[in-house]
């Protein structure tokens, strides 16, 4: 049943008609629990509140289905606007982005031009930029571009997904770049030819890549809401005397906020992934796909209206 529900919401997340409707009707039906508003001004207010609680942030302007140069350039402009707001307001925030929004599927020249524009502005304001990982078909291209950009900029990192068979080899391949990596389980629907179908295997691989990357001496962002993975990381850093400034935990805005604050109290860096923008629909559906509890929360919100 849970898998059925997950597949259903993942299917909905790719529906272009529903995406258009969502843009038109705004952040209703509980999405505002997971999305910090539609404008950078609204996002800034949320980030300020999180920073007050000792939480670091990475902010993401949501955008999917970008299929022309004009839209890709506009998306890059939104990222630049966010970087300027972070600098102006002196926020404890990084930036996350998807390269499909920057023109990855349109042309190499376009995506590189937009990425360099963003990273130049980010360098000027001391903002770190993480390139989100998308589905498997774009994984190699994303890593190739990351390697090229890492040669030019220090303030860029990317994401690796524990559910892919290839990830262990990718950690090994990237280690000489001294990369700052966000490690995640992975949220896209992938074939068993490229990804572990069983949760236990994904969890085991997650632990393996966390250990590999930390012991390579590289900065590690462990992005999880899973207490077992959090506890594993705490024990690992203790066992190998890894300092707290070599890793952090990351969670999504609106999910387990009490746990986020608890990790801050325990002395860990805890970064919240804060999305905003009008194109929030696909992101919201993927959050519902991940946890049935999220669906229950949203239904309660809808029934109250």
Placement of tokens 């029934």 in the chain: 303
Q: Is 287 annotated as contributing to ligand binding?
A: yes
24 with 278: CB under 8 angstroms?
no
CB-CB neighbours of 225 under 10 Å: 17
Rg (CA), the chain: 18
**Residue count (the chain):** 305
Q: Is 133 annotated as contributing to ligand binding?
A: yes
Q: Is 286 annotated as contributing to ligand binding?
A: yes
Residues with Cβ within 8 Å of residue 68, at least 6 apart in sequence = 106
Verify whether residue 132 is a known catalytic residue: yes
Placement of tokens 């935990």 in the chain: 249
Question: Catalytic residue among 170, 182, 203, 279, which?
Answer: 182
Dihedrals phi, psi of 109, to nearest 5 degrees: -60, -45
Residue 49 and residue 239: Cα distance in Å, rounded? 34
Q: Is 186 annotated as contributing to ligand binding?
A: yes
Q: Is 161 annotated as contributing to ligand binding?
A: yes
Q: Is 52 annotated as contributing to ligand binding?
A: no
What's the angle, vertex CA 246, arms to CA 242 and CA 249, rounded to 5? 105
Residues with Cβ within 8 Å of residue 284, at least 6 apart in sequence = 22, 31, 34, 35
Question: Catalytic residue among 6, 60, 105, 132, which?
Answer: 132
Q: Is 267 annotated as contributing to ligand binding?
A: no
Residue 90 and residue 87: Cα distance in Å, rounded? 5
Classify residue 166 by its DSSP letter.
Answer: T
Active site residues: 132, 182
**Which residue positions form the known binding site?**
98, 133, 161, 185-187, 199, 224-225, 286-287
**Which residue positions form the known binding site for substrate?**
98, 286-287
**Which residue positions form the known binding site for FAD?**
133, 161, 185-187, 199, 224-225
């Amino acid at each position: 049943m849970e898998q059925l529900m997950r597949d259903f919401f993942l299917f909905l997340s790719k529906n272009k008609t529903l995406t258009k409707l969502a843009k038109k009707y705004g952040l209703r039906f509980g999405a505002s629990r997971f999305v910090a508003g539609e404008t950078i001004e609204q996002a800034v207010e949320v980030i300020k509140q999180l920073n007050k609680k000792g939480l670091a942030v990475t902010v993401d302007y949501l955008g999917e289905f970008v299929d022309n140069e004009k839209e890709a350039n506009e998306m890059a402009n939104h990222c630049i606007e966010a970087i300027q707001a972070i600098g102006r307001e002196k926020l404890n925030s990084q930036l996350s982005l998807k390269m499909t929004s920057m023109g990855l599927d349109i042309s190499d020249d376009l995506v590189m031009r937009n990425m360099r524009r963003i990273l130049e502005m980010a360098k000027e304001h001391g903002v770190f930029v993480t390139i989100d990982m998308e589905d498997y078909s774009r994984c190699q291209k994303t890593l190739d571009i990351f390697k090229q950009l890492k040669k030019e900029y220090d303030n860029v990192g990317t994401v690796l997904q524990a559910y892919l068979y290839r990830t262990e080899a990718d950690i090994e391949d990237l280690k000489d770049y001294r990369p700052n990596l966000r490690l995640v389980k992975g949220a896209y629907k992938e074939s068993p030819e490229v990804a572990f179908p069983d949760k236990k295997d994904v969890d085991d691989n997650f632990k393996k890549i966390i250990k590999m990357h930390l012991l390579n001496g590289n900065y590690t962002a462990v992005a999880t809401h899973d207490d077992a993975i959090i506890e594993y990381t705490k024990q690992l850093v203790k066992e190998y005397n890894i300092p707290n400034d070599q890793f952090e935990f990351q969670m999504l805005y609106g999910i387990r906020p009490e746990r986020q604050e608890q990790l801050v109290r325990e002395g860990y860096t805890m970064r919240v992934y804060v999305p905003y923008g009008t194109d929030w629909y696909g992101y919201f559906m993927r959050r519902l796909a991940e946890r049935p509890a999220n669906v229950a929360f949203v239904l309660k919100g809808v029934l109250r209206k």
